[in-house]
Amino acid sequence: MSIVSEKKFLTEEELQTVKTIQQKTQNLIIELGEIELTKIQLSNRYELAKDFLKGVATEEKELTEKLLEIYGKISINPEDGEITPMG
């Protein structure tokens, strides 16, 4: 003799809650992925900016050395290029 068991289902409200939680979880996974991608992009930008800074610092050092050789110790007005000797 076999016992036939009746199938049971969640209420519509319970099922909707389950689906809502699943959707929120999926949205969270997507958001975390986008955040991680943004972190990688920012890290790359940061490294490029550091390299750029090194280049600018090198240019500044070279110019300073060149101007020191030509003019000695001076102060420069960056607006009009006027140089003033320094003691």
For residue range 43-87, what is the model confidence (pLDDT) as tens digits?
999 999 999 999 999 999 999 999 999 999 999 999 999 999 987
* Residue 26 counted as domain residue: yes
**Helical segments of 7-73, H only:** 12-71
Domain-located, residue 47: yes
pLDDT given for residue 66 in this prediction: 96
Q: Token digits for 60? A: 């500044």
For 4, which DSSP code? Answer: P
Main-chain phi, psi angles of 61, to 5 degrees? -65, -45
Any domain includes 5: no
Taking the alpha carbons at both ends of the chain, their separation in whole angstroms is: 112
pTM higher than 0.85? no
Determine the structural domain holding residue 70 and report its residue range. Answer: 12-85
**Given the structure tokens 């319970």, which residue do they identify?**
14
Q: What pLDDT score does 1 carry? A: 60
Domain assignment present for 20: yes
More confident residue, 35 or 3: 35
- Do the domain assignments include residue 2? no
Q: Evaluate whether residue 52 is within a structural domain.
A: yes
